[in-house]
C-alpha cells in the first residue's frame, strides 16, 4: 500500500504496441459477467486490473489506458488506483514472485532465516529479480497465516511452516 514510492509503483514504461492488452474477448466477458454486478463501471477497476495482471504478469501503462477507456475513466484515475495496491505491478517482475511475510508472528518464528536462505540460493537480495527473469524476491506484510509461520506466497500459492531446508525443496520443485 503506497503513499511512498516503491518499485512496483515506479514510473511506468510507456512503450505502445499495436495489439491491445485488453482484448475484445476479455471485454466481452467483462461486459457479460462483471459489469452487471456493480452500479458503476468504475467499480470493475480492481477485477479488470487483476485479470490483466494475471494474464501479463504486470500492468503496462498501455493496459491502464485501455482499462480507462473501457470503463469510461481517465488514465490517471486508473493509474491512481493501480499505484495504491501492492498486488498491482507497474513494472515487469519475475515469473515467480516470492513474498516472504515479515510481520510480527513470522518475525517471532524466524522469517529472517528464510529470507537469508532464499537470498543465498537465488543470489539476489530483497526487491531483486534473478537474471533469467525466473524469480523476484520481496517481503510482504501479514499474509493471514500467522499460526503457521514463517510463511510465504509464491504467486498465488501459500507455503507455510517454512524452514531453511524445506524452502530449498520448494524452490527446486517449481517448474
Partner 1 sequence: MALSEPVLTKRIPTPPFGDPRNRHLVGYDEYVNTGGYAGLKKALAMDPKAVVGVVKASELRGRGGAGFPAGLKWGFLPPEDGRQRFLTVNADESEPGTFKDRLLIDFDPHLVCEGIAICMHACRLDTAYVYIRGEYHAQARTLQKAIDEAYAQKVFGEGSILGQINGRWPQCYVHRGAGAYICGEETGLLESLEGKRGWPRIKPPFPAVAGAFGRPTIINNVETLAMCGPILDRGADWFKSLGKGRPAGAPPTVPASFGPKLFGVSGHVNRPGVYEENLGVKISTLINDYCGGMRGGKKFKAAVPGGISMGVVGPDEIDAELDFDIGKKHNCLGLGTAGVIVMDEDTDMVAVARNIARFFSHESCGQCTPCREGSAWIYKILCRIEAGQGTTRDLDLLLELAGSMGAMPGTTICGLADGTNWAVRTILNKFWGEFEKRVTAERYVSLNVVGVR
Does 166 interact with ligand FES (rule: CB under 6 A)? no
User: Which partner in partner 1, ligand FES, none is near 112 (CB below 5 to 8 A by kind)?
Assistant: none
Contacts of residue 37, Cβ cutoff 8 Å, sequence gap at least 6: 43, 44
Among 117, 137, 143, 167, binds ligand FES (CB under 6 A): 143
CA quadruple 102, 106, 110, 113: dihedral, nearest 10:
-40
Does 102 interact with partner 1 (rule: CB under 8 A)? yes
**Closest Cα partner for 172 from 156, 154, 158?**
154
**Which residues on neighbouring strands pair with residue 136, listed in sequence order?**
97, 129
The most distant pair of C-alpha atoms in the chain lies apart, rounded to whole Å, by 50
Residues 72-101 that bind partner 1 (CB under 8 A): 80-81, 83-88
User: Which partner in partner 1, ligand FES, none is near 151 (CB below 5 to 8 A by kind)?
Assistant: ligand FES
Does 113 interact with partner 1 (rule: CB under 8 A)? no
Report the nearest approach of partner 1 to the CB of residue 123 (Å): 26
Residue 23 has which C-alpha cell? 482484448
Does 149 interact with ligand FES (rule: CB under 6 A)? yes
Residue 156 has which C-alpha cell? 498465488
User: Which partner in partner 1, ligand FES, none is near 97 (CB below 5 to 8 A by kind)?
Assistant: none
Which among 4-12, 29-37, 84-92, 142-150 is the span making contact with ligand FES, rule CB under 6 A? 142-150
Report the nearest approach of ligand FES to the CB of residue 42 (Å): 31
Does 45 interact with ligand FES (rule: CB under 6 A)? no
Residue 94 to residue 138: CA distance in whole angstroms: 11
Residue 66 has which C-alpha cell? 485501455
CA quadruple 9, 94, 112, 120: dihedral, nearest 10:
-140
State the binding string over 10-29 for partner 1 (x if CB under 8 A, else -): --------------------
Amino acid at each position: 500500500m503506497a503513499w511512498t514510492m516503491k518499485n512496483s509503483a515506479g514510473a511506468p514504461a510507456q512503450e505502445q504496441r499495436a495489439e491491445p492488452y485488453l482484448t475484445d474477448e476479455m471485454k466481452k466477458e467483462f461486459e457479460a459477467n462483471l459489469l452487471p454486478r456493480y452500479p458503476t463501471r468504475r467499480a470493475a477497476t480492481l477485477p479488470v486490473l487483476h485479470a490483466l495482471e494475471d494474464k501479463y504478469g504486470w500492468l503496462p501503462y498501455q493496459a491502464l489506458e485501455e482499462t480507462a477507456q473501457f470503463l469510461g475513466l481517465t488514465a490517471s484515475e486508473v493509474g491512481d488506483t493501480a499505484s495504491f495496491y501492492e498486488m498491482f505491478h507497474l513494472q515487469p517482475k519475475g515469473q515467480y514472485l516470492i513474498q516472504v511475510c515479515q510481520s510480527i508472528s513470522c518475525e517471532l518464528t524466524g522469517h529472517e532465516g528464510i529470507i537469508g536462505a532464499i537470498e543465498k540460493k537465488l543470489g539476489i537480495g530483497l526487491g531483486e529479480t534473478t537474471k533469467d527473469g525466473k524469480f523476484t524476491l520481496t517481503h510482504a506484510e501479514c499474509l493471514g497465516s500467522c499460526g503457521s509461520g514463517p510463511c510465504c506466497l509464491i504467486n498465488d500459492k501459500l507455503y507455510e511452516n517454512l524452514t531453511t531446508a524445506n524452502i530449498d525443496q520448494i524452490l527446486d520443485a517449481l517448474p
